[in-house]
Amino acid sequence: MSKSKIFIILRAMRINQWIKNLVVFIPIIFSGKLFDSIFFFESLYAFIVFCILSSTSYLLNDIIDYPFDRKHPIKKNRPIASGGLKIQEATFIVFISVLVILIVSLFFSIGLFIISFIFILLHVGYSLYLKKHPVVDIFSISLSFVLRIEAGSIATGFHVPIWLLMTIFFGSLFMASVKRHAELVTHGSGARESLVSYTSHLLYFMTNTFATATIIAYSFYTYFEPPPRIEVPIFRAFVDAFPGFEARKWMMISIPLIVYGISRYAQLLYDRAGGERPEKVITTDKPLIITIFLWGVVVIGLIYLL
């Protein structure tokens, strides 16, 4: 196989969107086990499994959408729509990938196998039916993120607090609503079947609702999260100087970063119509990158240093 063909296959598999699968690490990050090598590699195993599963779902979706993508101003450049990757070749890759990854997940655990199989069924249903129906389509996308988190939980045995899980659920609904709005504004209702039943007013409502729900869910998580335990000697002075230091809800100081991040993402949608490709927005917008970095520093610092 030539290098150019491999590059075309990698493009079709959309490896740039593997960033979505990083949510698999959430269970160990918020359980304080990120730097435990055993749990890290278990999460990495699940991450790789879901990266391949995600790429397989993209290939399947492009195979099914082939006639429509050829007429789309941007999607017509995708490998399958442009003819760079034949449908027969893509179908073979999908079949082999699903077979291999299910076997690999089964060797790890029956739980990871089941969650992987459910993920495949969800994306097959999405590609064939669910994506054609408004609201149902974005809920399907959000459910796929929940399944990724559950894969991380099953792989490591650490469960995600319910309010943190709800934060991811509502956050993915928010981003999916933003994406649909961007598609509707940029390409009109003919861009995908579900957009025919969407209106700007409905998508404004959904975007505002899910943004608010995300902030509330995260705020509840930070409030109900048990206070950090001071293990590093240098921080013992704070405990002596400020009685009740350990009992305070320190994680709540990260809430403004979440609020700003959501607001900035919405600004990119309404001012620049940048919500159609969320993975590009997250990895290229400097204010958003800085916000995510600061949030990560705060969370990691509170969990692993305090």
What whole-number distance in Å separates Cα of residue 26 and Cα of residue 138?
Answer: 22
In CATH, the architecture of 9-159 is Orthogonal Bundle (1.10)
Separation in Å, CA 124 to CA 64, 73, 104, 182, 237? 10, 25, 20, 24, 56
Number of C-beta neighbours around residue 166 at 10 A: 19
pLDDT tens digits, one per residue of 182-197 = 777 666 655 566 666 6
pLDDT tens digits, one per residue of 131-180 = 778 888 889 989 999 999 999 999 998 888 899 999 999 999 998 888 88
pLDDT at 240 > cutoff 80: no
User: CB–CB of 42/156 below 8 Å?
Assistant: yes
**3-state SS assignment for residue 101:** helix
Q: What is the pLDDT of residue 267?
A: 80
Calculate the dihedral angle through the C-alpha atoms of 28, 30, 31, 37, rounding to the nearest 10 degrees. Answer: 30
* 27, two tokens: 């269970």
What whole-number distance in Å separates Cα of residue 138 and Cα of residue 174?
Answer: 9
Long-range contact pairs involving 187-195 (C-beta distance under 8 Å, separation at least 24)? 187/72, 187/73, 191/72, 192/68, 192/131, 193/131, 193/132, 194/131, 194/132, 194/133, 194/134, 194/136, 194/137, 195/134
Q: What is the pLDDT of residue 194?
A: 62
Task: Choose between 274 and 158: higher pLDDT.
Answer: 158
Angle between helices 136-156 and 37-64 (to 10 degrees): 150
Q: What is the pLDDT of residue 265?
A: 85
pLDDT tens digits, one per residue of 71-110 = 666 777 777 777 777 888 888 888 888 899 989 999 888 9
Flag the least confident range among 5-14, 27-36, 142-151, 208-217: 5-14
What whole-number distance in Å separates Cα of residue 166 and Cα of residue 156?
Answer: 20
Flag the least confident range among 195-199, 212-216, 235-239, 247-251: 235-239
- In 146-209, beta strands by DSSP E: none
pLDDT at 276 > cutoff 60: no
What whole-number distance in Å separates Cα of residue 191 and Cα of residue 69?
Answer: 9
Flag the least confident range among 23-27, 156-160, 236-240, 262-266: 236-240
What whole-number distance in Å separates Cα of residue 305 and Cα of residue 32?
Answer: 10
pLDDT tier at 247, thresholds 50, 70, 90 = very low
User: CB–CB of 155/26 below 8 Å?
Assistant: no
Q: What is the pLDDT of residue 193?
A: 61
H or E segment and range at residue 67: helix 66-69
**3-state SS assignment for residue 134:** coil
What whole-number distance in Å separates Cα of residue 211 and Cα of residue 213?
Answer: 5
Percent of the chain predicted with pLDDT > 70: 80
Let me know if 27 is exposed, middle or buried by CB neighbors in 10 A (0-12, 13-18, 19+): buried
Amino acid, res. 96: I
pLDDT at 234 > cutoff 60: no
> Minimal CA–CA distance to 280: which of 77, 14, 46?
14
Q: What is the pLDDT of residue 184?
A: 72
What whole-number distance in Å separates Cα of residue 239 and Cα of residue 214?
Answer: 32
User: CB–CB of 75/120 below 8 Å?
Assistant: no
User: What's the N-to-C CA distance of the chain in angstroms?
Assistant: 52
